[in-house]
C-alpha cells in the first residue's frame, strides 16, 4: 500500500500545524496522463464513508477508491531537489517517468 517516509511524515505534520489543519487526514489523488506519467494532488481533508483509509508513519491518509490502483506501490518523500529547495516527491513504479533511487 501507499507509504510515507519518516521525513515526509514530519513535513506533513509541520504543514498541518502551520496551516491549522491538525486532526484532518492527508487526502491523496492521482491521475494518469496520456504519456503514462502520473499527476499527484494532496491536501488536508475529512474522511468520507467511501474513502480508503490507511496510516503510514503516524499519518492518517485517505483516498477515493479510484485512486488506489495508481497509488498502491508508491512512496511519498520530502527531499532537497536543489540547495535550499525542498519538495514532496512520489516514487511510484507505475509512473512512466519513474526510475528507482540509486542505492549506492
User: pLDDT grade, residue 97 (50/70/90)?
Assistant: confident
Contact predicate 37/47, CB 8 Å: no
Instruction: Quick: pLDDT tens for 61-70.
Output: 999 999 999 9
Q: Which overall architecture, per CATH, does domain 3-91 show? A: Sandwich (2.60)
Q: How many CA atoms lie within 13 A of 35 on its CB side?
A: 5
Taking the whole predicted model, whether its pTM rises above 0.85 is answered as yes
pLDDT confidence of residue 75: 96
Q: How confident is the model at residue 100 (pLDDT cuts 50, 70, 90)?
A: confident
Q: In what order do the strands lie in the sheet with 75-82?
A: 3-4, 75-82, 85-91
Domain chopping of the chain, boundaries: 3-91
Amino acid at each position: 500500500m501507499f507509504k510515507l517516509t519518516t521525513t515526509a511524515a514530519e513535513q506533513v505534520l509541520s504543514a498541518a500545524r502551520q496551516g491549522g489543519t491538525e486532526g484532518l487526514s492527508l487526502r491523496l489523488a492521482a491521475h494518469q496522463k496520456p504519456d503514462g506519467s502520473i499527476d499527484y494532488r494532496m491536501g488536508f481533508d475529512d474522511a468520507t464513508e467511501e474513502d480508503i483509509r490507511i496510516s503510514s508513519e503516524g499519518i492518517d491518509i485517505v483516498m477515493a477508491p479510484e485512486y488506489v490502483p495508481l497509488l498502491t506501490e508508491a512512496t511519498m518523500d520530502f527531499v532537497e531537489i536543489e540547495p535550499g529547495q525542498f519538495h514532496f516527491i512520489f516514487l511510484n513504479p507505475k509512473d512512466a517517468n519513474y526510475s528507482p533511487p540509486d542505492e549506492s
